Structure 1
Amino acid sequence: MAEATFMPRATLGNLSKPPTVDLTPPREVLESLDDALTLARNSYIDRLPASKKHFEEAVDFLPGGNTRSVLFNEPFPIFMAKGEGNKLWDHDQNEYLDLVGELTAGLYGHSHPIIKKTLLSTYEDVGVSFGATSTHEVALAKLLCERFPSIERVRFCNSGTEANIYALSIARHMTGKRKVIAFRGGYHGGVLSFAHGIAKNTIDKPDWVLGDYNDVQGVKGLIQNTPDAAAVIVEAMQGAGGCIPATREFLHAIQETAKKCGVVFILDEVMTSRLHPAGLQSEFALDPDLTALGKYIGGGLAFGAFGGKEHLLAAYDPRSPDSLPHSGTFNNNTLAMSCGYVGLTQIYTKDVCLKLNSLGDYFRGQLQEISQGTKMVVVGKGAVLTIHFLDNGVRPSKESDIENHNINPLKKLFWYWCISRGYWITERGMLSIVLGTTKEELDGYIEIVSSFVEAYRHLLQV
């Protein structure tokens, strides 16, 4: 993966990593989780005066100073000033190894030279906002159909949320039914969320029927006993739901039962398509009716796509007088189309994909070894994973396994620990490895996690 390795340029000026400071709490504080959290919180505030100032300004114009709920942290979020390669620098000049990876969308990092060249050349030599059809969208569509065998036809949109909404619209149009079967802990976009049940902002609330993830017998009965179901939608690994992988048996039970009952099988691969050269549908030998894509494929730009069987995508064929309308000013914008094509052909090739996810398997395995026998539980697949803190220390297979045992104060303490030591992770514990990240860099993080386990072992004992 040499072509994806980055080094910060000298032009970053004062944005450099400060000297390493021993932030291990004094022994007496280690005895109390509440005291440890208070110490960590105060240290966080002291280290980040610029972020605190920016947040205080932001609340005058943005509700809660925020326009993306998942990025909000108490007492205030860190404001980033610069990103390059797999590194970030905040406005207080702290450097971080980026292990968030824009929640899987930032696969190519913050300044990949090939993506940069493509953006500039497209802007200068092609142009943007045509308001017309271009060959760039045809090239990317052909590539996606070749890379994901179940996709015979594809259409573009602007996000994974849109992709899933359009896939559902096809299912409802073609079956004449309304109900959709989903799974607790599933996330299919900003208005299609099922953590702790149906989210307050989920659209079409009366039309959803929820089942338990990885419940083979339960899902068979659910599909069979929902005669007005248009579709069943599922992730092959629940991303936002805690990186819980599906079992092969569970996914095949969905596919086979849905086919028998005339229910459209929608596989949400917005996050998981990067975990295998042809998506997890290929690894699990699945043949979904419809697939939703998004995240990294746009090369860092807004992107979504929904594709699948030709007879289903015909619902959006404008040559038919009965076709459904499908609009979107930026659906086929030249920048995303060009970056998407270059990214999959020149950067995230099949070989690179396998190597990155093999590195991820090593990384997750090391973390699992460190956390063995503790309340720290690590789950995921390939280069995407989540670190949980569960009072029973058992790896979850469904949402309730997390919901019933989650320890939020430990999760928060761990987040403070990693941030203070130069590692950018999400507060919920989700990590996504950026291309170009080395084994040595990941080993550095493994040491940080190991030091946390040692410092707080008495709090982590099951």
Structure 2
Amino acid sequence: MSPLDAPRDPRNSDLEAALVEAREAYSAARPRSAAIHARAREVMPGGNTRTVLFYTPFPTAMVRGEGARVWDADGRDYVDFCGEYTAGLFGHSEHRILDAVKAAMDHGVNLAAVGENEGKLAALICARFPSVEQVRFTNSGTEANIMALAGARGFTGRTEVLAFRGGYHGGVFTFPVGVPTSPVNLPIPMRFADYNDAEGAARAIREAGDALAAVIVEPMQGSAGCIPATREFLIALREACTETGAVLVFDEVMTSRHGFGGLQQRMGVTPDMTTFGKYMAGGMSFGAFGGRRDIMAMFDGHRAGAMPHAGTFNNNVLSMAAGCVALGEIFDEAAAEALFARGEALKASVNAACARHGVAVHFTGTGSMLSPHFRPGPVTAPYKASVAEEQMRELFFFDMLAAGIYLARRGMVALMLPVTDADCARFVAAVEEFCAARKPVLAAA
């Protein structure tokens, strides 16, 4: 029998119809956001300037935030579970950070000079992350990864880098499963291995031998759906890199929030270099790369032939001032552990809700970050989602918005410190309602 003659699963047509209805309801409730997007399309390709914020029919435009809440241009309010993709850890109105930024502005914005705060912030980072003996600042996590790999290549005298399918290390290092290499990726010779395949990754590192300058890995893949690495996998990378002389780089741009010393401390595996970004400057632009003293010495201007590292805003006074308060006064060990525990409890609660309804929806993650997958768990490696899975994900996003929950379009949640137990309960209730209402179009567990 031809596939065209096969009976069609009615769930597919029902899912498509539900999605059309959800899109129409979304659009009807947000005329001002639609108008903002239409005007922006005249002068900006796609109507925006940050790919992760683009979605159809148009993105919701936000106009205000306070604590853990945001308001859109049409007057609707939401509990913010997006958390600016982990950068918004402190919420929208933490007065200690706002006071630090205002004080810095009062003393001049662009001074074209070093300042005392950059040394203070560097000391805070070095004191809490096991791998970091010295550190330098950038403007974003993307830049941090660029400079870390440049440093590793300069230090080893080698050229190639091993990354993992499904990994994301910034706009110029993106490796989604099943997608050809992005034309915006930097032209660095890359090798690839499968995430969480300890044996295969170790073999790939050893086969590369003297050609391999660095291995870069997220201790939890964020963009791929909050998929944690196993300790066995990270240990295998550590041992193979030690054996071959390749520099092991942990991209903790997102995951450094998962403990006082990041996931490297929680997992008990120490890389040679670590990259940072997101929340560390209290919501201001920020990135950093650091590691062993001998590797970081490649950037020591006191040494002849030091590698250059430019960036007008690397040590901008706003980020440096906010970062000293964010890491030095607010996000201490107790706060990090409490946030981690809250996220773990939330993940357990939403997975229990999905299980009660017998649907193939499963949340993965570590600590305060989690993402839904519209297939049975456990999910331990990145994958290329089916069309139906992507439709379910989009439907989930629209339903959560309708329930007053703002999260990433891909479904990712990043908890903010101001999020309360009541907010988490509201999130669980919204997931439960989604599973109940959409059960006819969701796959069975």
TM class, shorter-chain normalised?
A: over 0.9
Instruction: Tell whether the 8 Å contact from 2:11 to 2:440 is kept in structure 1 after alignment.
Output: no
Query: In structure 2, what is the equivalent of residue 431 of structure 1?
Result: 413
State the alpha-carbon separation in 2 of the partners of residues 406 and 232 from structure 1.
Answer: 34
Matched, 1:111 2:96: no
Note if 1:340 corresponds to 2:323.
Answer: yes
386, 400, 415: which is aligned to 2:371? Answer: 386
Shift of residue 35, structure 1, vs aligned partner: 1.5
Match of 2:268 in 1: 285
Change (3 A) 1:332 1:97: same
User: Map of 1:260-271 to 2, 5 A cutoff?
Assistant: 260-271=243-254
Q: Distance in 1 between matches of 2:78 and 2:11?
A: 26
Q: In angstroms, what is the RMSD of aligned CA positions?
A: 1.6
Per the alignment, residue 143 of structure 1 pairs with 124
- For residue 224 of structure 1, the aligned residue among 206, 209, 213 is 206
Please state how far the C-alpha of 1:321 moved relative to its aligned partner: 1.4
Shift of 1:89: 0.4
Q: 1:28-427 maps to which residues of 2 (within 5 A)?
A: 32-124=14-106, 126-196=107-177, 197=179, 198-204=181-187, 207-227=189-209, 228-372=211-355, 373-390=358-375, 393-400=376-383, 402-403=384-385, 407-427=389-409
Secondary structure of 1:456's counterpart equals: helix
Alpha-carbon spacing, 1:294–1:310, altered in 2? closer, same or farther (3 Å): same
- How far apart in 1 are the matches of 2:323 and 2:216? 25
What is the DSSP-based 3-state SS (H/G/I as helix, E as strand, rest coil) of the residue aligned with 2:89?
coil
- Paired residue type of 1:278: G
Count of residues paired in the alignment: 430
> Which of 415, 425, 428 is matched with 1:443 structurally?
425
Evaluate the alpha carbon distance shift between residue 33 and residue 230 of structure 1 in structure 2; reply closer, same or farther with a 3 A threshold: same
Question: With structure 1 as the length reference, what TM-score do the two structures score?
Answer: 0.91
Distance 1:233 1:127 in 2: 38
- Measure how far apart 1:287 and its partner are: 1.6
Partner of 2:6: none
Q: Secondary structure at the match of 2:208?
A: coil
What TM-score do the two structures reach when normalised by structure 2?
0.94
In the other structure, the counterpart of 1:457 is 439
Tell whether the 8 Å contact from 2:126 to 2:132 is kept in structure 1 after alignment. Answer: yes
Alpha-carbon distance in 2 for matches of 1:286, 1:406? 38
Is contact 2:12–2:388 with CA below 8 Å preserved after alignment?
A: no
* CA deviation after TM superposition for structure 1 residue 32, in Å: 1.3
1:404 CA drift (Å): 6.0
CA displacement at 1:31 relative to structure 2: 8.3
Letter matched to residue 127 of structure 1: G
| Distance in 1 of aligned mates of 2:400 and 2:288 | 35
Residue 406 (structure 1) shift: 6.7
> Following TM superposition, by how much is the alpha carbon of 1:59 offset from its aligned partner in structure 2, in angstroms?
0.2
Shift of residue 199, structure 1, vs aligned partner: 2.4
Spell out, residue by residue over 1:137-190, the C-alpha distance to the aligned partner (whole angstroms, 9 max, x if none).
011111111111210011111100011110101111111111100000101011
Deviation sequence 1:218-248 (CA, Å, 0-9, x none): 0110000012110000000001111000000
Report the alpha carbon displacement of residue 458 of structure 1 after superposing the two structures with TM: 2.5
Identity %, equivalent residues: 40
Give the distance between the partners of 2:11 and 2:121, measured in 1 at CA.
56
